[in-house]
Structure 1
Amino acid sequence: MSANSFRYLPLDPERREIRILALQPGVFEEPLRCSIATTDLDTSPVYNALSYVWGDPSSSNIPGNTVLLDGHPFPVTANLLTALRHLRPPAGAGATALWVDAVCINQQDLDERRHQVTMMRDIYASAERVIIWLGEEDAETDVLDSIPLLAAQSRHQGVDAKLDQRLVDLMGRCAGFFLGLVDRRPWFSRVWIIQELAMARRDPLVVCGRKSVSWSTLMKAWSFLARATFTEMGMVRRKGPQGGSQKLPEGDLSGEGLEERGGGDVEVLGMIKIDVLDDLYRTIKSQGGESLRKLLMISKTSEATDPRDRIYALLGLLKPDALEAHSEDVIIVDYRKPTSEVYADAMAYLFAQGDGPYYLSYAFLPGVSAPAPYIPGLPSKARQPDLPSWVPDFSRQVTGKATRPSGDMFNPPAGPGASGAGAGCKNGKRLEDGRTLQIEGLFVDTIEQVVPLGTTIDAYIAQLPELESLASAARQRPCRLGSSVAPLVEEFKGKEPLWRALVANKRFLSGYDPAPSSYETAYLSLLNQSPKQPKLDGETGRAQPSDYEQCLRARAGKQSFFTTRNGFVGTCVRDSRKGDIVAILFGSPVPFVLRPIAESIQVAGSDRPSYLLVGASYVSGIMDGEMVDELYCEDLMDSTTFFIR
């Protein structure tokens, strides 16, 4: 936004200078008057930092949406104008010192933006208090007055099943408030708020219109509700030791083993983001930072006005020594860089840290990044231009509220996964052309058949006999990978039934737990069901679909079934095709589908084949590291260097 007649005085880039806004007192309806002054963070200035959502940028062009800044009109968005009115001190009081990014940073000066963004961690950490502005009051915000009462209940070891009826009624009202909080309040969708909250040195103040409550009080009340209200609805699950989860028994409201804040080992399905933010807030306080891989996973549903901020907004949350630890791939804030280059920088940094292969398995699994893979020339739903195929489009917001890395049904399996003994290795680097990833792995096989799964659960179930037939025929194909390898490959091919492969061997609604043997019965029931059977109501007529059927439903229309030349079977991204290859990239828990392309790459004076990364896959029989541990580590198979563009 432009500053009309107001002119910024430049900040000294050699010092840690910032601007502080002095919000002058007045009554609510009066025009807002402010002054602005430059100060140095090293002098420990006293101010509060505002965490808010800009809102519709065009609203700053509406006449009247201005503040007087040193006597000059300065346009602001409607949401910021409202926030400043509510935060303005009353007439007769002293001015309030605030740091507000839209006013205190010259947004038109790209060099200043870069300099201030690199200081953002310190700006919020140095503030006397971080004020979270959620917006104006609505019909449900009256419950904020009662939040401290619920928070006080979290001190009890368990939840009294014979609660006072008044408290029960209050819990009902607060449950509605919390369940709608993330959807109604855009603050929760903004990527910058993660850092602004996490870096607060004191308990942040949450403000909604004329009502306010501390962040810790809000979280204690939420934790109490998560145990007391949502357990009996089947929405609360206890987190397992490896990140998996299981439903709490009905009536189990004991809270046994809960962390001090009152809810550390339970999560509410479908309402996770507020919990994740608080987890991160406490992690930053105890550990000083987090890895970029985890931050990207946590923020996968977050939005940014500038797509480059999907990366830049997270840099201040890295552990203080993280950026220096891998100086060859350090991420430098530069708003002159195209978005594609910023995203490639982020992936190069992840590979330098040893997190690249794992993050690829997360970012490219079917249904996580997008229904369609990122391949030039194929439909991509407005993918950022010029991105290499191995670089995710971080600007594409993932739908859904579950943001825990362990909570997504498409996450990699427990244990080392397909990489086996190579699971923890540091593997992969970006070449000097800035677009090519060089990475080591194993060639698994070439895809022979691809069958896109039905787009509805009925269509998918009708395909099951065909898939069984294709899988059986494929497993009869002889292995031609060499006489020393063939016997073991034949063993791998026959070790897992198809019903496990179709659900990636995972339990419904569990990030890591393997599919139970009881799923076989459900699968056989679906397999034997006539597709011509009359339907009752809705899509399938099955009033109570099994957990196994729910697993299939989640994959319908998003994946394809495939077989390979040497008889492997599995599932892959929907647009995989015959002639693609399957490869294990050391360090990744899942194999990948790669597409050979005509363009070769010159390495050490010779032409090497190159590939596009199509997406992740599940290959039956090799998902526990069999090929790495029993073939590669026993010198029966050589590794391959892949060049991915």
Structure 2
Amino acid sequence: MATAKEDKVSYNSVPLLDASTHVRLLEICPVSDNEDELYCKLYAAPIADLPSYSAVSYAWGDNTKTHSIRIVDYDQAPTSTEESLDKENGHTCLLPITSSLDTCLRQFRTYKELRLTPLWIDQVCINQDDDEEKSSQIQLMNQIYSSAKEVYVWLGLDSDGSDEVFQAFRQVAECMWDSELFGKDRATKWFPAPRAIFDNRIDTPEVQELLRKVVTIVVPLLREKKILAWYKRTWFSRIWTIQEFCLNQYTFFVCGDRAVLDEVVLLVWELFLILPDFHRNTRFRNAFKDHPEILSMMDSQPASLLPPPMQHLFETKGSLKRGKRASLREVLVQVSTRLDLGDHRVDILSTKFRDRVYGLLGLAADAEELDIRPDYSKSTTTAEVLTQTARSIVRTEGSVSVLRFSQFPKHHVEDPDEAGHCQPERLPSWVPDWANGTQYSYQFLDNVFSACGRFSSTADLIPTSSPFILGLRGLLIDKIEAVGLPWRADWGLKAYHRYILQYFAIIKDMKRRSAEKNSSGFDNDIYPDSSRRNQALWRLALGDCYVNGPQKRARATADDVVPVFRELIDHCNFCCSVDEKLEQQQQQQQQQSETGNNDNNRSYLNNMMHMDGKRPYLTAQKGYLGMAPKHAQPGDVVVLLCGDSTPYVLRTTGHDNSTSSSNTYTFVGEAYCDGIMDGELEGRLERERQEFFLV
């Protein structure tokens, strides 16, 4: 055991001249026995003039710091490239670290190339007890990770067959390169998209031969769930690791004593995307009709073979490599909405809830313009951080479309204090919490609506006395008079055909009541003719959007929708007409019918799925028909807000003292309103603009 002094490290001995322009780097001192204590050197340098260094991305795991490293006095110790470190007489200080980092550094110490390389590791290089320094350093994360020579993703020691998984990654890459389908230059900085090559050329002998090789490599590991175990390591669920992975061109996954370039992992991941095609794609099955062993291997696997969750990582990194950066809103939407993978769902985690914003700032193209500065001071609440983020996005983009992701019920966003107590929820109704499972609402297709006409892209903001109040101008369309039952996108619901008919009977009755309102002396009819009113029956249930294959994504049209809608209704009526005995005898057939296995029935029902939980509504005066969030109720109002292309539902409240209760509202959610989605009320919006204050 060393006799060096046992002082605890004081970051004052390794000061940052300016935490917004300087960083610390760590060097691992080599030793003859890897069981020996960890000796490291820590020093500071301006970020504009750093030596060549590597950055490390890892999961902290348990935040309890149960281990320590010895920080060697920089002036008194020999350089870390020398093996003759004088441990007995050199002055060292102890720096507590987590168990996961201890394991990581010990493994890295065995790699000669890393012993000679300065490292940036957040847990050591940032004084975690100094909130001001931490806030400043986080603003440098973009530079730190993008300027590093490479980034090492530490996943932990070998376990659950991870060595076999890494070997499979390399074998697949070798097979792909040897095929020359991706070019002959192995020094490429990013692979062509294998999925596109497989799909477009599945009929060629070259692709079939390659797939025969790689399928036999990866499918056994899928069957044994070894690849799934690898993907389920903690690193994949941390918010900070997203930008740490994406910002650098050269990123290596490290597990135990194995390392593999991220591009190789991408090759295998793209392969996963085409494996389900062996189940459902006739071209794929025909291509392998002379290789029954491959089809048998695929048929023995579940249809869902894709492990979680790499899409948000590789798509984001691919965009950065192509020079395309998304806005913070787009990054937040991507990360918050794209990880619901059924049984393989992975929740993105963060030590502090506010890190859901701070952890993605380094990826945002508009980070500087948003002027969001990380703030970890105890006097600043997470509600304040999320509110500032939402306001900054509205101000910067000139759009209120971020409100679409302000869903209910809201998650508890305040972190517990030292005693484990949480502050009461104080997040305004209009502010998204960006929690896991955020859902797209109606406009899952971009740029298909223009309810505000030329005012759809320009928010009309009103100054307010509190940052928690959002003042906007727009148009009150009408008050909701009645709501129907929420649509349930539940294929397994018993007697689904009866539920479907009941649902459309409610819409049909609302359509009748709408016609009565417009024939009883109110303003002009909201529809140009009765034929257009009748279309509301099938438009509402789809939110007026129809997806029919990957090449056709647009507004619903009568030619596309009416035939499949009629077949669905006819089939549901048929199911209801059979007697009990026949229904029992044909139970299997009817179960297939109820779940929409008929292609045309499934086509319409599939398009209704994105309306899950939404409910039809009828407005009081004009008789507008539409779809509202499931928690909408009579008395709510439908409005157009300048700066978006869809209407919203608001609820009047009188609890704010700084504004009149008549124009103070809580936010309910995004809406579809039939007959106004193409700017029909643009003139009224210009002439009759009103003030709305959201709290």
TM-score band w.r.t. shorter chain: 0.7 to 0.9
Alignment counterpart, residue 199 of structure 1, candidates 228, 240, 247: 247
* Aligned twin of 1:237: none
> 1:161-199: CA deviations, max 9, x gaps?
244754431142465679726851222222212221222
Contact 1:412–1:590 (CA<8 Å) still a contact in 2? no
Give the secondary structure class of the aligned counterpart of 2:279.
coil
Question: CA 1:384–1:348 in structure 2 vs 1: closer, same or farther (change >3 Å)?
Answer: farther
**Where do 1:151-230 residues align within 5 Å?**
151-152=173-174, 153=176, 155-156=180-181, 158-159=201-202, 160-163=207-210, 165-173=212-220, 180=228, 184-200=232-248, 202-227=249-274, 229-230=275-276
* Aligned twin of 2:436: 397
* Aligned twin of 2:190: none
**Where do 1:318-397 residues align within 5 Å?**
318-319=364-365, 322-325=366-369, 330-336=371-377, 337-354=380-397, 356-361=399-404, 363-364=405-406, 369-370=407-408, 372=409, 385-394=425-434, 396-397=435-436
* Aligned twin of 1:68: 70
Structure-2 separation of matches of 1:270 and 1:146: 16
Alignment counterpart, residue 33 of structure 1, candidates 15, 35, 39: 39
Alignment counterpart, residue 316 of structure 2, candidates 246, 267, 280: 280
The one-letter amino acid of 1:385's match is E
**Where do 1:194-593 residues align within 5 Å?**
194-200=242-248, 202-227=249-274, 229-234=275-280, 250=284, 273-287=309-323, 289-300=325-336, 301=339, 302-319=348-365, 322-325=366-369, 330-336=371-377, 337-354=380-397, 356-361=399-404, 363-364=405-406, 369-370=407-408, 372=409, 385-394=425-434, 396-398=435-437, 411-412=444-445, 414-428=447-461, 431-453=464-486, 457-458=493-494, 460-461=499-500, 463-464=502-503, 466-479=505-518, 485-486=524-525, 488=527, 494=533, 496-504=535-543, 505-507=545-547, 512-514=553-555, 516-517=560-561, 518-520=563-565, 521-526=567-572, 529-530=575-576, 536=587, 542=593, 545-546=596-597, 547=602, 548-552=604-608, 555=611, 558-565=613-620, 566-593=622-649
Structure-1 separation of matches of 2:669 and 2:227: 34
Contact 1:151–1:224 (CA<8 Å) still a contact in 2? no
Contact 2:139–2:374 (CA<8 Å) still a contact in 1? yes
Contact 1:32–1:67 (CA<8 Å) still a contact in 2? yes
Structure-1 separation of matches of 2:665 and 2:451: 20
How far did residue 578 of structure 1 move? 0.8
Percent identity between the aligned chains?
23
Question: CA 1:553–1:225 in structure 2 vs 1: closer, same or farther (change >3 Å)?
Answer: closer
Q: Which deviates more, 33-42 or 92-101? A: 92-101
- Length-normalised TM-score, structure 2: 0.73
* Aligned twin of 2:89: none
* Aligned twin of 1:256: none
Structure-1 separation of matches of 2:227 and 2:540: 35
* Aligned twin of 1:612: 666
The answer as to 2:112 corresponding to 1:88 is no
Structure-2 separation of matches of 1:294 and 1:632: 27
Contact 1:474–1:564 (CA<8 Å) still a contact in 2? no
How far did residue 544 of structure 1 move? 5.0
How far did residue 501 of structure 1 move? 1.5
How far did residue 318 of structure 1 move? 2.6
Contact 2:252–2:259 (CA<8 Å) still a contact in 1? yes
Contact 2:231–2:308 (CA<8 Å) still a contact in 1? no
How far did residue 389 of structure 1 move? 0.9
Q: Which deviates more, 76-85 or 464-473? A: 464-473
**Ranges in structure 2 where 5+ consecutive residues have no aligned partner:** 1-5, 73-91, 182-196, 288-303, 340-347, 414-421
* Aligned twin of 2:651: 595
Structure-1 separation of matches of 2:112 and 2:245: 30
Give the secondary structure class of the aligned counterpart of 1:621.
coil
Give the secondary structure class of the aligned counterpart of 2:475.
strand
The one-letter amino acid of 1:146's match is A
The one-letter amino acid of 2:237's match is S
* Aligned twin of 1:139: 160
* Aligned twin of 2:301: none
* Aligned twin of 2:16: 11
Contact 1:449–1:562 (CA<8 Å) still a contact in 2? yes
Alignment counterpart, residue 129 of structure 2, candidates 108, 133, 142: 108
Structure-1 separation of matches of 2:573 and 2:373: 54
Aligned residues: 582
**Ranges in structure 1 where 5+ consecutive residues have no aligned partner:** 235-246, 254-267, 377-381
* Aligned twin of 1:264: none
How far did residue 429 of structure 1 move? 5.7
How far did residue 430 of structure 1 move? 6.1
Question: CA 1:164–1:387 in structure 2 vs 1: closer, same or farther (change >3 Å)?
Answer: closer
> 1:209-244: CA deviations, max 9, x gaps?
2211111222133324434x233234xxxxxxxxxx
The one-letter amino acid of 2:358's match is Y
The answer as to 2:682 corresponding to 1:632 is yes
Structure-1 separation of matches of 2:389 and 2:642: 20
The answer as to 2:154 corresponding to 1:130 is no
More helix by share: 2
Structure-1 separation of matches of 2:284 and 2:120: 48
How far did residue 610 of structure 1 move? 0.7
Structure-1 separation of matches of 2:19 and 2:132: 12
Give the secondary structure class of the aligned counterpart of 1:633.
helix
Structure-2 separation of matches of 1:188 and 1:56: 16
Question: CA 1:303–1:4 in structure 2 vs 1: closer, same or farther (change >3 Å)?
Answer: farther
Contact 2:155–2:255 (CA<8 Å) still a contact in 1? yes
Question: CA 1:512–1:83 in structure 2 vs 1: closer, same or farther (change >3 Å)?
Answer: farther
Contact 2:153–2:251 (CA<8 Å) still a contact in 1? yes
The one-letter amino acid of 1:118's match is Q
How far did residue 204 of structure 1 move? 0.8
Question: CA 1:435–1:609 in structure 2 vs 1: closer, same or farther (change >3 Å)?
Answer: same
Alignment counterpart, residue 50 of structure 2, candidates 21, 44, 47: 44
- Length-normalised TM-score, structure 1: 0.79
